[in-house]
Structure 1
Amino acid sequence: MSAIEQRIEEAGYTLPAVGKPLAAYVPTMRDGDSIYTSGQLPMVDGKPAGTGKVGQDVSVEDAADCARICVLNALAAIKAEVGDLDKITQITKVVGFVSSASDFDQQHIVINGASEFLADIFQEKGQHARSAVGVAMLPMNVPVEVEMIVKVQD
């Protein structure tokens, strides 16, 4: 088991199997030493971990938990691409989309669920640039979607 996967387990999580794409895309795309993930939904065993709009149907805390699940799904896709999460040398960028009630303005707090989790697991390598964007709706009515860019070494 990689050191990163061990930290994930110590945090109380398990790296899932790579989810099957829900449409016409691939889970990751590699360009040199960068890996781009497709947007990852908070799917657990093929089903959404939550649904609805944040600030209306979903609490900030539950949405932040969903953001962590999205990160786990992204890391599973990256592992399938490179074989070992210890090959990640830097989390470069995180983009989070939050399905938001019309007056909800705490998207940045929701996506902290992803950012803080990455910092805990990857430590200094987990520091990253980030965007947190409120949207009207996400696929399958999930509250959060996260995509990542990471640097890897062979």
Structure 2
Amino acid sequence: MTDQTISLSHQALRGRLAELGLELPEVPGAVAAYVPAVRTGNTVYTSGQLPLREGVMAAAGKVGSDVSAETAADLARTCVLNALAAAGALGDLDHARILKVTGFVASAAGFNGQPAVVNGASELLNELFGTRGEHARSAVGVAELPLDAPVEVEIIVEFS
């Protein structure tokens, strides 16, 4: 597949999203000097995506004090939808395989449940893509994230 032959239909993915009561959002705009995603060959790398819903931060603060781990896992799902939108602008998601997920969790002192938070993103990808959604992953606790976001997720996608 070349860049000139990419179809941006995503029909099967849109159907699966609808079954789950979700939809692919518009590609979120960058909040600094970067682009939402870049493609090299058949691989797309997304920038870290925040839990923005219609351009508004869905929640703010540290996980483990201001935001519960359960809420943060839901926010990670929002992040991965935003990442899929960014990746989908550069290739047909119906022909995607998720290679890697990296999740960053703004963590209160003593909070060590980062894997459970990032499971929100991983589980959604598995629901949407089946075995093509199985991926390598990192879940990292950090002191702060941009705009006081509780979670940020980036993905690496391969298109066939």
Superposition TM-score tier, normalisation by shorter sequence: over 0.9
Q: Which amino acid aligns with 2:152?
A: E
| Counterpart for residue 50 of structure 1 | 59
Matched, 1:120 2:116: no
The counterpart of 2:41, out of the listed 10, 32, 38, is: 32
Structure 2: which 5+ runs fail to align?
1-9
Matched, 1:65 2:74: yes
Q: Distance in 1 between matches of 2:18 and 2:111?
A: 33
| Counterpart for residue 101 of structure 2 | 94
Report Cα offsets for 1:74-128 as digits up to 9, x if no partner: 111111112x21021x100000000000100000000000000000000000000
Structure 1: which 5+ runs fail to align?
none
Alignment check: 8 A CA contact 1:5 1:85 kept: no
| Counterpart for residue 30 of structure 2 | 21
Q: Which runs of 4+ in 1 moved over 3 A?
A: none
TM-score by length of structure 2 reads 0.92
| Matched residues, number | 151
Quote the offset at 1:73 in angstroms: 0.3
Alignment check: 8 A CA contact 1:36 1:148 kept: yes
Q: Distance in 2 between matches of 1:23 and 1:10?
A: 34
TM-score by length of structure 1 reads 0.96
SS at match of 1:63: helix
Q: Distance in 2 between matches of 1:71 and 1:6?
A: 17
Matched, 1:85 2:93: yes
SS at match of 2:67: coil
Report Cα offsets for 1:51-70 as digits up to 9, x if no partner: 01000000111000000000
Aligned identity (percent) is 56
Q: Distance in 2 between matches of 1:144 and 1:69?
A: 10
Alignment check: 8 A CA contact 1:92 1:128 kept: yes
Q: Distance in 2 between matches of 1:9 and 1:139?
A: 30
SS at match of 1:91: strand
Quote the offset at 1:31 in angstroms: 1.4
| Counterpart for residue 148 of structure 1 | 155
Quote the offset at 1:46 in angstroms: 0.8
SS at match of 2:44: strand
Quote the offset at 1:41 in angstroms: 0.3
